[in-house]
């Protein structure tokens, strides 16, 4: 446990912030889309096929079979394009960016507030 989390006020504020973030529509949407992606059999199959194509590319390059390596690379690229264009993957990436933006905003706002508090305390200390 982090030293700051042992402080009751900080622990309470942190728990509240975590709950507010968990309840935020952007985070809920992201989690829902993430779950849909994880449970989608077509995406799972594509991921496995991409991994297999990657392994084949490495093996063929290792054994100096350029034609087979090229074919594996083409397969990999085709599968990756199909994966990247899948509506759930597109929605996942958008939701991920939105969740990241929200967390970035919250982090910046906390940082601003902490900096303002420190500056005010320094001002009051210099006045005393």
Query: Does the structure show a pLDDT above 80 at 122?
Result: yes
**Pick the residue with more confidence: 124 or 73?**
73
Is there a domain that residue 108 lies in? Answer: yes
- At 5 the pLDDT is 61
Is there a domain that residue 14 lies in? Answer: no
Q: Give CA–CA dist 59/47, Å, rounded.
A: 18
The CATH number for 50's domain is 1.20.1500.10
- Identify the domain containing residue 113 by its residue range: 27-122
Is there a domain that residue 128 lies in? Answer: no
Q: What is the per-residue pLDDT across 49-105, written as a single tens digit (0 to 9) for each?
A: 999 999 999 999 999 999 999 999 999 999 999 999 999 999 999 999 999 999 999
**Number of domains within the chain:** 1
Is there a domain that residue 3 lies in? Answer: no
Is there a domain that residue 84 lies in? Answer: yes
């Amino acid at each position: 446990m982090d030293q700051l989390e042992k402080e009751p006020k900080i622990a309470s504020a942190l728990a509240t912030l975590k709950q507010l973030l968990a309840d935020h529509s952007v985070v809920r949407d992201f989690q829902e889309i993430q779950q849909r992606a994880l449970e989608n059999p077509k995406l799972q199959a594509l991921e496995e096929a991409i991994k297999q194509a990657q392994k084949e590319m490495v093996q063929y390059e290792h054994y100096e079979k350029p034609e087979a390596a090229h074919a594996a690379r083409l397969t990999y690229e085709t599968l990756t394009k199909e994966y990247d264009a899948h509506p759930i993957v597109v929605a996942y990436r958008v939701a991920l960016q939105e969740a990241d933006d929200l967390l970035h905003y919250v982090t910046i706002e906390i940082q601003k507030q902490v900096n303002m508090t420190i500056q005010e305390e320094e001002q009051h200390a210099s006045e005393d």
